[in-house]
Chains A and B, each alone.
Chain A
Amino acid sequence: MSAYYIGIDIGSTAAKTVVLSGDAVAEAFTLPTGWSGKETAGTIRRTLEEKGYLTGDHRCTATGYGRVCVDWADRVVTEITCHGKGGWALFGRDCTIIDVGGQDTKVITVAGAQVKDFLMNDKCAAGTGKFIEVMASRLGVSLAEFYALAEQGAPLAISAMCTVFAESEVISHIGAGERREDIAAGIVHSVAGRVARLCERHGITGDVALTGGLCDSRYFIATLSGELGRPVASHPFARYAGALGAAIAAAGKDFAGVREFSL
């Protein structure tokens, strides 16, 4: 039996797990991080045990802001390196990876599966997934509903640089009787604009690829492409890029092109 390489990415919102067997993904699942990263790490461990991944030869790398909560991991690697490795494996070429996470956004230059340089947004939620989460809840909709609304809207200007102030701007729009669709579209444009500015400050090498939680929104990808004036690639498995990169780090060898994403 071949070894299992496990990558666990405990993000601020979601905890992602990927199990690699050779260069094929054997398993991938997401859990909400909840209030305790340690508890989530325990749940992940029990799940992996039940599925038999921990009985034979296996190695585990943890990443994400909650990486230290996975006290049973063999190794801890930062999410920047993991998104770099995971993104490189998914997109199969040197590129600039943008990871819009729950609490921060990173722009990562990758060449030959190695992170060459990166830039992370400053301690601020604007331009991160958190901003969208906060605003969706302010509009009283789920994230999926939020993106669906945004797609049908004409973006209103949200110009505040800070989540707290932007929230009051959104409240003013609500108070002024603006359509929720237009407010939602404005919010997505605001985040995409912030992310694009971060990218431009960092500099773009090669193609641009998006990883992280916001990959699930076609509308966000399209808006970001518009802001950057160039196509933004994504991948159905891109929300798992960090966990995949951690699994690759556990395996200790890099490869471009991972098989069997459709799980």
Chain B
Amino acid sequence: MATLNLPADFETYAEARKAGFMRMKELKDNGARVIGVFCSFVPQELILAAGAVSVGLCASSEEPIRAAEADLPRNLCPLIKASYGFALTDTCPYFYFSDLVVGETTCDGKKKMFELMNDIKETYVLQLPSARDEDALDAWEKEIIRFWKKLEDFYGITITEEDVKKAIELKNHERDVMLRFLELGKLDPAPLSGYEMGTRQDALGFNPDMAARCAIIEKRTEEVLKDWEANKKGKPSDRPRILVTGCPNAGVREKIIKAVEELGADVVAFDCCSGTREKIEKVDATLPVTRALAKKYLNINCSVMSPNDARLDYISGMIDDYHVDGVLEIILQACHTYAIEATKVRRLVQAKGLPYLNIETDYSQNDRGQINTRLGAFLETINK
């Protein structure tokens, strides 16, 4: 096997990034297959069945955006710009060491960006339909089969149905473990901060060992439950309970999630791609495998789907189940699908008699003050 090199600028990188690179290099030096993904629509089971490690690629920092803007328009979603910028500047260890990158035709910005990304590293794009009828399901199942074949050809391996079935079982178990952690937010008063829920999930995305990921989360879930039973149960809290919905929020977690919690609220629920959204529906083990995968992944309630009323029903249910006092929707600049669907979310939330706040932002820090004022005023409208 060829010797793997580190990026030319490696010596200038911060320690955490260096550590990420070294971890990935070790993994690759030991012969691991690595597939880089951006989105929860990519069927993880097939990657797992291919004996590969799936890594979430970097997309949540302002740092590489300036470099990305050399090729991409400024008025574009920061997540797309950051994804591309990290790839371009060799600063994401996971992208750098991925054998193959897998994209999807979720939103227009991403699918066109993937065309450019393909010039940096082979980027395979899954053609996701936007409807949820039988025709769409058939088309999406074909895409799943095409991806299966792609992985076989790419690595020169055979992926058996048994491999996929085993992967389905493992991933379903992981979903249950993560869901149990995220649903701790249903406890009243809140047992842990929303900030912690988010950061822990993110940290796991960079851990290639699924069993280790599950063990970490199960341990933490037990700790939190124990602490809640001993110290919090039965003690009412006057902190408003917030549901966060909308775009992926890792890149704005400090200035929105952390900020609103510092202002006196508890973020208890996340309707977003790193929240419960992808985890509620499991892959149906009784269906033929490709049909089962197609069905599960087509039902993810992302705003790129049209219509997407299931998301509204889910939010409505979450408001009740998590005893939510207010809904905070995060829109990343120029994300048309979430920005438009926000009108429906607002109507739903207000019809349920709850305050709703929509914050449109990017990864920069220059609106911190304004966001704090909005969050503060939002909490002041909640009578608790």
18 cross-chain CB contacts under 8 A: A65-B373, A77-B376, A77-B380, A78-B373, A78-B377, A79-B377, A80-B374, A80-B380, A81-B377, A81-B380, A115-B377, A115-B381, A116-B355, A116-B381, A117-B350, A117-B356, A120-B373, A120-B374
Residue B122, interface by CB 8 Å = no
Bitwise, A96-134 to B at CB < 8 A (1) or not (0) is 000000001000000000111110101100000000000
- Are the CB atoms of B380 and A115 closer together than 8 Å? yes
Chain B, 317-354, CB within 8 A of any chain A CB: 350
Contact between chains at B380 and A78 (CB < 8 Å)? yes
Name the distance in Å between B345's Cβ and chain A's nearest Cβ. 14
Q: How many A-B contacts at CB < 8 Å in the complex?
A: 39
For A114, list chain B residues within 8 Å (CB). Answer: 381, 383
Q: Which residue from chain B places its CB closest to the CB of A123 in the assembled complex?
A: B367
Number of interface residues of B (CB under 8 A): 15
A-side residues, CB < 8 A to B, are 65, 77-81, 104, 114-118, 120, 122-123
Q: A115-B381, A116-B381 are known contacts. Are A78 and B376 too (CB-CB below 8 A)?
A: yes
B355, B366, B376: the one contacting A123 at CB < 8 Å is: B366
Contacts of B377 in A (CB 8 A): 78-81, 115, 118
Decide yes or no whether B369 CB sits under 8 A from chain A.
yes
- Which residues of A have CB within 8 Å of B360? 122
B3 part of interface (Cβ distance < 8 Å):
no
- Using Cβ atoms and an 8 Å threshold, which residues of chain A touch B383? 114
Which residue of chain B has its CB nearest to the CB of A122? Answer: B360
Instruction: Decide if B12 is an interface residue (CB 8 Å cutoff).
Output: no
Task: Report if B370 contacts A (CB, 8 A).
Answer: yes
Cβ of A80 and Cβ of B370 under 8 Å apart?
A: no
Residues of chain A with a CB closer than 8 A to B374's CB = 80, 120
A80: chain B residues within 8 A (beta carbon): 373-374, 376-377, 380
Collect the chain A residues with CB atoms within 8 Å of residue B350's CB: 117
Closest to B381 in A: A115
Among B355, B360, B381, B383, the most chain A Cβ lie within 10 Å of the Cβ of B381
What are the nearest 6 A-B pairs in CB distance? A80-B377, A78-B376, A78-B377, A81-B380, A123-B367, A115-B381
Asked if B370 and A123 make an inter-chain contact with CB atoms under 8 angstroms apart, the answer reads: yes
Q: Give min CB distance, B342 to chain A, whole Å.
A: 12
Minimum Cβ distance to chain A for residue B354 (Å):
11
* Interchain nearest-CB distance for A198 vs B (Å): 13
B200: min CB distance to chain A, Å: 31
Residue of A nearest to B373 (CB): A78
